[in-house]
Amino acid sequence: MKYLLTSLLALTLFISCNGDKEIDKQEPEKDYTIENDKEITDYIAKNNLAAVKSESGLYYVINEPGTGKQPTATSNVTVAYKGYYSNGNVFDKSKEEGLSFGLNQVIKGWTEGITYFKEGGNGILLVPSRLGYGSFDYNGIAGGSVLIFDVKLIKVN
């Protein structure tokens, strides 16, 4: 009986330790804040943009503020856009008529950034990874990537 209890205790410890190792194998999310901020500010300087930095770290440029309704973070909107990296490589683009979606269903950079425009407005969102897809690869976008979007707010639905 003593050997049985000792064996059960050893087996329990072995299983517990192995469970901990599985958790340790998960990569922690990397903070790209410093690298992203430098990449964005370099891009702004190189392209002579008049960008504003929000408290969250989102940079945005308002080319045309628009004159219609202004959305909130929970609005459903129609937006035409082109998404690209700071090297100019395009990773996504809408059709001219845009796409409709809820601002609470997209990346944080869009949830915040689109609210700076009124209907008919357009500009640029420069999104650090923590307001985009984070430090992990997502749908062909490398983890830690700065995402730049030319956006036009067509309509607040």
Cα 53 to Cα 4, 37, 41, 60: the distances in Å are: 65, 10, 10, 7
Share of the chain above pLDDT 70, in %: 83
pLDDT band for position 74 (50/70/90)?
very high
Inform me whether the pLDDT recorded for 10 exceeds 90.
Answer: no
Task: Return the sign of the alpha-carbon dihedral for residues 38, 40, 41, 46.
Answer: positive
Percentage helix, strand, coil for the chain under 3-state DSSP, each rounded to 5: 35, 25, 40
What's the pTM?
Answer: 0.83
Encoding tokens for residue 38? 């430098």
Inform me whether the pLDDT recorded for 16 exceeds 80.
Answer: no
Q: What is the mean pLDDT of residues 9-34?
A: 54
Q: What is the pLDDT of residue 39?
A: 98
∠ CA 114-59-78 to the nearest 5 degrees?
A: 15
pLDDT tens profile 99-128: 999 999 999 999 999 999 999 999 999 999
